[in-house]
A = this chain, B = another copy of it.
Amino acid sequence: MKTQTIIKARGYHTDQFGHVNHARFIELLEEGRWCYMEENGLLDLFHSMGLGHVVIRIAVDYKNSVRAGDTMRIETGLIKRGRSSFTMGQNIYLDTTGIQVLEAQIVNVFIDGKSGKAVVPDRGLVSKWHDLAMAGEKEDANG
């Protein structure tokens, strides 16, 4: 299930051209992922399993600009699952028109909450994180 996050662009998000700066979007995407984590109870789940996660790769395609006063809708979902990693897919749209602002893929690895080292999480995680189970099924279908 995709999480929707609504954020209004403000003057302090924009640069000298009046457009939301490309670096700012990275922060807005992070906000979207926090919302996804909360909506799916992952903060508590990860904590109970002693898991953390860190971003190891981001790729963002910018398609259209956003101005102060525009309302953005950030859509966040899980799109891929690896043994010790997972990939979030995010899109930002102008809420009124539906025009796509950007498309992003963010790859995370699971880490041990204490040592900070990459780990393969216990299989139990899959049964408790619904999207992860779904992503797994898709992987099977693809190969």
Contact = CB atoms under 8 A, between A and B. Distances in A.
Contact of A10 (B34, B60, B67, B69): B34
A130 to B, nearest CB: 23
B12 A30 contact: yes
The A interface is mostly helix, strand or loop, or mixed, namely mixed
Nearest to A29: B23
Chain A interface size, under 10 / 10 to 19 / 20 to 34 / 35 or more: 20 to 34
A62 B68 contact: no
A57 B61 contact: yes
Interface stretch (A14-22, A78-86, A87-95, A135-143): A14-22
A110 to B, nearest CB: 15
A27 B61 CA distance: 17
